[in-house]
Structure 1
Amino acid sequence: MWLIQKGEAGGHPVFLRLLVPNLLFLLLPLLVGWVIYHQTLIEMEKEVTTANFNMLQQNREILDRRLQELSSIAMQLTEDTRIMQFQRITDPYQGANVNRVLETRKSLYHYGLANNFIFKYFILFKNSNLVFTEDSTYSYPEFYRNFRYEGWEEDAFRNELVSVYRHKKILPAQEVIVNDQPYTLLTYLRSLGMPGYPQGAIGITVDNRELQKLLRGLDLSGGGWACIVDEEGKVVSTASSSDTPAWLDPALLKGEKGSIERTIDGKSMLVTYSKSPTNDWTYLVAQPVRVVLQKVLYIKKITFSLAFLFLALGLLYAYLIAYRNSRPLKGILDTLRERAGAADPAGRDAYRFIRDHVTRLLENNSDLEERIAREAPFLQAASFERLLRGDYSSPTDTPVLLRHAGIEAEGRWFRAAVLQLQGFEGSLSREMLVDLDGKRVLVKDVLTREQVQPLLAHDMAEDQIALLFAYPSRPDNDWERVRLRLERAAAEIQTELHIQVRFAVGPLQEELVNISRSYEEARNTLEYMRWRGLDGVMAYDQIPGENRSYYYPSDLEVRLSHLAKAGEQEAVETLLNELYNVNFKEKQLSILMLRLLVNEMWGTLVKLLPQVGMDETYVLDTVKPFADDMKSYEGLERSLSSLAGVYRDICICVNEHKKSQNIGLLESIMALLQDSYSDSDLCLDSVAGRLDISKGYLSQFFKEQTGVNFSDYLEDLRMNRAKELLETSGLPVYEIALKVGYGSSNTFCRAFKRLNGVSATAYREGGAENES
């Protein structure tokens, strides 16, 4: 099977010549893939280890600074003379001691407001069992009932605090019941008094969630975990993607930092650790090896799969090329020789021959694509045609839409014209169409040389070119200048190209959106010139009045219907006034022609009413009184006025329907806000999702209906409820923050101070007077 008969392009040697290089080349991806895989494995391990080291180092430095802040705060409190005076007092509620207690309590600073790392702190005095906190004063038993450490009895916890002098001690994270609410807290302890003679203790608590935020910045997916271990080997804080993380023996962690691979609970884990020189704490993160190296395994899978696939396909391809070399190669060479007129190459020059001709073919194709791209700006052509058809209805949006398509339509006044190449009426052959394509290009060159300078020139038909002229202000004697330039251009086209042309020019129009009217009049002018066999340049105003038809193009009829269905009463009246001015005043049409116009406009209404939910008999009843009164100009005007009244009724009906829908939607939004303002996840996105409307529409609708932004309204609603709770309840500030929809008391306090000028605590103490 692998042998080929002699005479077919060299026989077996040709097969080997094609097969061996392809086989060697296809084996190369396997070698490259193997090298890439091993190198990627090494680099990925370095990358993950370095990233974890950096993150652990960053977390360690942040936590060291925070612990240093705690140490500094504890130092300030121990050196405070007002606190020191209570170390030897046994009865703080006798005599002048009462005033000292009050003064000391008021002087204590609420560090948690400025430092979200601090949860609460307390000061316990050994001799008097007096306990100060940032917001109250307790006896020790009362304090323990409100600040209870799980696993500690009341007396045992007091002995732990005051029996031994500690310069600095940090208790690992444990559950603490604060005001009947469970929290997981770390406790920083510093003793009052002298070494060997403790007189009390200062305890500063830290919410364990603050430490977990640092640890969760690491990648813990797939069963990974991270923790902090103190100098005694106790776990200070943990973070894990699973409920029961598996811990590593700290004795295995040698040196200040490192990375080891261990099997933990049957999983191969990559453990990265770093030790703090400040407090001998160890920060470590463990990640499954399969997660760390998933990119490497993916690269390995893709690389080897593609390599083997390419190898199999390459072998098959090489075999087919060798086996069937003679017929396709001979066919290609015969075709190229026939088309290019070249001599038949022989032997190994056949491949060079094919390569040269294919290269030339690709170059020619590239040149052709570039010419097509230059001559066929499809987006601009489509936008220009929509403009001439009147598909754009907004005067402000139209220039923006055209600019987006690459058309800079700057100006205030515009006119349209149509250029027709004569002599191409009737059926057109392929040769004539090709000739017309070239002539249109040459005609545009002549217009440019003669400084006709249209804003745009677009091919509307095989023998017609639409021209658009723009002016920054209403030009004086513009028609004469345009006529002279167009006559010179027509003469030059006839002299140079031997083609007779017609220029039909429409009237000036204010605003680009009205250019469709000028274009329609230019087309009517062209039809008149063709009917009369006229050449040269002609404006619409030069058509005799008796040859004019009424102005009610189909695109304007469609626009009128769309605007009525949208309830745009002002825009509808503008279009109706335009139709009245053009047909009744400017054109000076006959009564017969005006009667046809009014009848067609009533027909538009009959088709429109069912689309807006109104009965078409309403139109028939309205038009009956005018059936016999349409034989005079006055009767036709009254009929048109009645028609405008029907359009007004349609717009009113549409807008009332919209208004009823808006009221229902606003009531739904307000009810949702009143019921769910305590949900901290409540926001513009969530409300829009519940009501199944877009976020942008909800924001704009709410502002239009209420006069305030959605976020401001929600914030005011929450703040008013918070002020009620501050005035009427004894709930702590952090509980009030949760009840009114804030995720944390810090966020609530900052917002309350920003909106009310005082803190929530001060507001509660001062009541409504602060608000005034």
Structure 2
Amino acid sequence: MRSFFKRTRILNSKSSLKIIFNYLKTEIVIILILCFGTVLIYGILNKSLKNQIINVNKVLLQNTINSIEKEFSNMDELISLINSNPRVLRCMNAPLNLKNSDQNYNAYEVIKDLNTYVYSNRFVKGIHLFFDNDIIISNEYKTNYDFYFEHFDKSGYDVNSLISTYNHRKLVYAKDKEESMNKLYYANSLPVGNRKVWDVTAIIEIDMDVIASFLQSNLFTGTTEIFLLSSEQIPILKLNPIKENSEDMDEIKTIVKSKVLGWEIVSKIPQTEFEKKFMSIKSTIISILLFSLFVVLVFAVVFAYKHYRPIARLIGIVNDDGINVTNEGIFKHIEESMRKTINENKDLKHRVRKQTEYLTDNAVEKLLKKGIIMGNDTDEIIDMSDIKFKSAKLVVLSIKPFLSGAYINDYSDIINRIRKMLKQEQEGYVFYINESNISVLVEIINEQIFIPMEFGIRIVKMLDSLDIQSAVGIGGICHSVKDLNRSYKEALLSLNTLHKDRGEVILYNSIKNSMEIKTKYYYPISIEQEIINNVKAGNIEKVKALLEEVYSENFKEIQLSRQISRILIYNIVSTAMKIINDLKIDLEKFEDADILKQLYNAETVNSAYGSLISTYTIICRLVNKNKKSNNINMFENIRHYLIEEYNNPDISLTLIADRFNLSISYLSRFFKENAGINFNDYVQKLRIENAKQLFKESENILVEDVAAKVGYNNSGSLIRAFKKYEGITPGEYRTCLADN
């Protein structure tokens, strides 16, 4: 390295060694900052991970609390069901002289209901009802007090004291002598809300396995210790007890409390669960950090030396030139010199670009006028100007502006605006020929979106927005650079055939064979009839396809003249007016699409085509709307007929189809779509509802009479239908009416 310094004569400068050590010092400082940041981030991540563990564990414990609270809210609903059960009420209010057979039958019904409650609620293990008339009924048996306390009482708490006092949502904790887990009971006096007199005490045994499953499913890890404590801090459940002394262990403790029950869930996660992973990660990070320090330090020395070499050369150049610059001002002098060089380079590029544009425009102009200006070969012109065409299809437009005011001597703004329009769609060149001719050479890159006539119209409109009247002539499309002169001449000829002199766009092909084109456009009678039929059917997609076919045949292939195009548009509009008259559509409904204004006054083919699509879309929408309205009226007529004739035994799909002049298959599908159920179910339900009304109005009416009045041939048909749709027989329905 010293030999390098001697060769570059940098050691002769007093600041040379200082500069290289400043480079190296900067690299080392950056490395140390990165190391400190890594250690800091590791500490933050470590703490953040612990907080994340606590937050996630809280979410899990809160999910457990929410599940338990939800089950206890179901207990309140269960008590309400028992309180309103008519069989329980009979047992509660049963007289003392009631026969044993009746008493046992009623108790059997209560046992069945309690079994249903137990089976439908996984949180409930058993239900016991203690009546004040010395009867005890559970979901398994019926007995009296003496027999219960002698043989069945295994609850582990004082039942006598519990049933002798009023209870409301009371939780009772009891230790099971045979199991290690606590037992939990939910007690409530009946009737609910009567604190002075109660007839029954309902005691529900909670299934502790369900609570244990809630806790188990929300464990953070397999070794997490969980305590479930009551509001009096009585342990209810304990999962994964840690055998070691917990005081000697580091643990992450999380507590969540239920606002409804007052219970607490305490979670203890051993920190050893994560310490091994922490230590492994920590060791890996330190190893990588030390290795990175060594590698980065080596690279810092190498890059400091590498980056210093160009600086050394610059300093040597400054010293060789004999520039009187102090050591402290060397870098400032170099910076000023580089800035000056960059600015000079930018200025040179700008002048070269301007000159290149001028040469290119001049070369393109020579290509267009080749037939007028002789002496230069086409290939030579292209080689000298470095012109590169991206497309083999070219077309020339000649614009004749009628300037006044500020634009008389300044064409640059007009040319820039046209050039911007051209670059948005295609490639090409725009240049000034003379005061009455601005020419545009267009390279047609995308034929699908570029229509020369439409582009010429947009140029006229753009200039019109600047208060500049103009006309545009468009030559024919050529497929070779050698034919550009022909397209240019055709564009000039088009301008010579102007009718209005201003605001007109003339396509050369439209005037070349004008007599032949005037009588040819594509709109056969068969297409018109298809459009009419599909509009009346409301099929807008088919109508759009037919209009697209007409548009493609007339404007994408043969380029109709403006006059013939307008005749074609008038014929298509006449078709639309014919449809409107046939369907008797009110023209006032076309508030968003003024047909006469938008179609007859359309300035471009595309705008007229868009208006046609909008017009036919609105007509089809009105047709479909009328269809829907007719369907609603048809369904209402059928429904009213069924309400009037439901008691006719011969009512059927066939009868209704004949009456309303419909096919059976269509009527079946139509009825289900509008009613939501099939025809037979609708008639049966209508008859059943009227039968129920007759049973309500008369207690003594015979089933046979009701069947005849609602349209059944015999009582058996009524009974079967009643059982199918109501779930009970007419006799059972009468019994329910009598009980209520």
Q: Normalized against structure 2, the TM-score is what? A: 0.41
* Structure ID, larger Rg: 2
Whose RCO is larger (CA < 8 A, sep 6+)?
1
